[in-house]
Amino acid sequence: KQEVTQIPAALSVPEGENLVLNCSFTDSAIYNLQWFRQDPGKGLTSLLLIQSSQREQTSGRLNASLDKSSGRSTLYIAASQPGDSATYLCAVLTGANSKLTFGKGITLSVRP
């Protein structure tokens, strides 16, 4: 059974800091890995999707890497801003049923 872990559960940083959010998964037989953002009371917004054959994806100040063999991904946020405050969820797609397995998320607070 696939399990996705995100540690720590919460993180508080000052504005401007570069930061790394970690995600680990137990079964390396994945199709892809996605990072999502969730604002309080809102749905999920997809940030980056990395295919199993890829090593990283970049979008603006965000860079996500994937090391499938070791079951790890990182989301790098450059020059963090208060608007980046949200919960960041990592999810992996496994199996023929397109099931996404989610971590419990990291709640990020960026202090002005």
Partner 1 sequence: GAGVSQSPSNKVTEKGKDVELRCDPISGHTALYWYRQSLGQGLEFLIYFQGNSAPDKSGLPSDRFSAERTGGSVSTLTIQRTQQEDSAVYLCASSLQSGGVYTDTQYFGPGTRLTVL
Binding site for partner 1 (CB under 8 A): 31-32, 34, 36, 42-46, 49, 51, 89, 91, 93, 96-105
Q: Judged by CB, which is closer to partner 1: 61, or 99?
A: 99
C-alpha dihedral, 102 to 104 to 106 to 107, nearest 10°? 120
State the CB neighbour count (10 A cutoff) for residue 21: 22
Provide CB contacts within 8 A for 69, sequence distance 6+. 28
Minimum gap (Å) between residue 92 Cβ and partner 1? 11
Q: Judged by CB, which is closer to partner 1: 46, or 70?
A: 46
Q: Judged by CB, which is closer to partner 1: 73, or 80?
A: 73
